[in-house]
Amino acid sequence: MSSSRTFEDKQPQRRASSGFEFLKGVGQVTGGTLLSITMLASSIVAGGLVGLAISFRNLPDVRQLRNFFPSETTYIYDIKGKLLASVHGEANREVVPLDRISPNLKRAVLASEDSHFFDHHGINPTGVGRAVVVNAVAGGVKEGGSTVTMQLVKNLFLTRKRAFTRKLAEGVLAIRLEQILTKDQILEMYLNQVYWGHNNYGVQTAARSYFNKSAEYLSLGESAMMAGLIQAPEEFSPFASMKLAKQKQKEVLGRMLELNWIDQQEYDDALKQEIKLGKIKSFQGSALPYITNTVAQELAKKFGREALLKGGMRVQTTVDANFQVMAEDTVVKWHKSLLGQGLSKNQIALVAIDPRTHFIKALVGGVDPKISEFNRATQAQRQPGSSFKPFVYYTAFATGKYGPDTTVVDSPVSYRDGNGWYYPRNYDGGFSGPMPIRTALAQSRNIPVIKIGKAVGMNRVIETCRTLGIMSPMEPVTSLPLGAIGVTPLEMASAYATFANYGWQSPPTVIARVSDSSGNVLLDNTPKPQLVLDPWASAAIIDVMRTVVTSGTGKGAAINRPSAGKTGTTSSEKDIWFVGTVPQLTTAVWVGRDDNRQLASRATGGGMVAPIWKDFMEKALKNVPVENFKSPSQFPRPKSN
């Protein structure tokens, strides 16, 4: 900065000033008497503090501030850097280094709070002496005489109770602190620590809230207004009263002019400057709560809740905000459409995952997060119905004994289990005789999948589910192939994504990268896929599920590109699904009611959910090139076992 008045380069020129204006109106005290009292009080206090330091052995050790990290707000961004939410505890703070704080603000704060900051060693004897006189006249603690260093140690270590003993402790700690930290370090810590009102701690969050800009770019007028907030931030906030805020601004600018830190022209220009206010941001909700709440849960699980609220993490999600909004709008649109079709009180969840990375691209946990924050995409355990069947057929394919064209007979059958005899039925109540597995899945026949499940062993099916990340309780019962378990839409989308990536899997995540406020990487979720399924069997089940879309129960999901998927409908029409994929995107859509009651008679995944999937996928893939799935013939078929 070029100005000769910049205190970073050299101490500002100061006008001679008695410093005793505070006693105007106290007529009983003559100027000479006042000077004598002040000097005597200053000497007593300054000397007394040195002696008292010996007795203040129970005070905090200020040396720990060398490694002090103030609590900071965690910021969550979309994949392109758009801010989605800030997460913090009591203190909403973003720490910035001193060289990224406007010199205007630094001068304004020191002019207002501690104009002798670069002269003293923690306490200002003149200021303390003045406070002693004022307090003696008033008969109590009315003026503090605190330096910036004293204010800092008070904020960090001491209570806000006004008492002489606390003031003495401030002085002792301030002297100690000045011995271990430089002036710049103290000022940087102070500016990042001080409370500016509206739950803004530190200059950066305050500047963004009051003026919608970084602290680095604050003008002189804005800086003076902010400096005027420190003593009573809520009272003098321009959001509360612009008149009072301008009054305090004028006082600060007047003090800067008196100190010769600004000239008359700068003073006049700053007062004339139009103040453009920002918005109170500390209490704003998330732009995309289903995403940011999921992120917060992942962070708390990984780093702990304390780190989430105070660690100042910078989180890049895997989600494009515009893409997520499109997904949410699709859900709202179809919620209304289904209401018109008689599906009262319906809720919808949607999860879209890139099968190549297992990055979550969209996650919608319900129709309206403002009404209900319950995230059905990640928290609702619902029966998948027939959308579970591909897990059974994959397990059979992985043995090497079965393939898409293996014949299975759709005929009456009965099984005895722990609850007596079980007579499985097809959805239409009839039987179709011998058919290939491809047709059995395309038509969603129940008897064939149960027979295949019994043949390969239900425990093997459970092992497949566990490998795919489905962790719900499962028993190897005869009805398992019909989806008689609880799963989340996220689990279903992730499982199908592993099929679509031919057995390669990474943990599904909504977080791409996490760093601290200094840029140090804390978590890097760059995909590291592992081969967890047989590639041939995965390609084979995708190939069979393509038939579901082209000529089976999922024809309503057909789009103008190769796609594979499976409908799901529970026997009581409480849960209806469509889970499907193209090579670049896998999406699960679930519809049901929170009270777990029937949606409507004859409600099916193929008739009511496949169109939702189609609508979403057509929008999602609008500018994505068409790709073909790999053929099973491109992979070696497993040997029979």
Residues marked as catalytic? 113, 386
Distance separating alpha carbons of residues 590 and 605, to the nearest angstrom: 8
Report residue 495 as tokens: 């499982």
Report residue 421 as tokens: 């005899």
> Residue 383 — φ and ψ, nearest 5°?
-70, 130
Classify residue 488 by its DSSP letter: -
Across 337-365, b (16+ Cβ under 10 Å) vs e yields: ebeeeebeebbbbbbbbbbbbbbbbbbbb
What letter represents residue 611's amino acid?
Answer: P
What letter represents residue 544's amino acid?
Answer: V
Are 323 and 288 contacting, i.e. CB atoms less than 8 angstroms apart?
Answer: no
CB half-sphere exposure, 53, CA atoms < 13 A:
14
Report residue 21 as tokens: 């204006």
Distance separating alpha carbons of residues 545 and 359, to the nearest angstrom: 23
- Tokens 């609702």 locate to 380
Report residue 76 as tokens: 């969550």
For residue 457, give Cα distances in angstroms to 352, 390, 475.
Answer: 31, 15, 12
Report residue 493 as tokens: 């989308």
Closest residue by Cα to residue 380 from 475, 297, 468, 492: 492
Q: Measured between alpha carbons, how far apart are the two ends of the chain, in Å?
A: 77
Label residue 301 exposed, middle or buried (CB < 10 Å: 0-12, 13-18, 19+).
Answer: exposed
Question: In the β-sheet with 83-87, what is the strand arrangement from edge to edge?
Answer: 83-87, 74-77, 314-317, 511-515, 521-524
Report residue 582 as tokens: 């193209």
- Tokens 């796609």 locate to 563
* Helix intervals (H) in 139-241: 148-157, 164-180, 183-193, 203-211, 220-227
Element of type H or E holding 328: helix 321-340
What letter represents residue 478's amino acid?
Answer: T
- CA torsion angle 282 306 96 320 (round to 10): -70
- What percent of the chain is helix, strand and coil (3-state, nearest 5)? 45, 15, 40
Distance separating alpha carbons of residues 4 and 263, to the nearest angstrom: 11
Report residue 135 as tokens: 């307090």
Distance separating alpha carbons of residues 232 and 195, to the nearest angstrom: 9
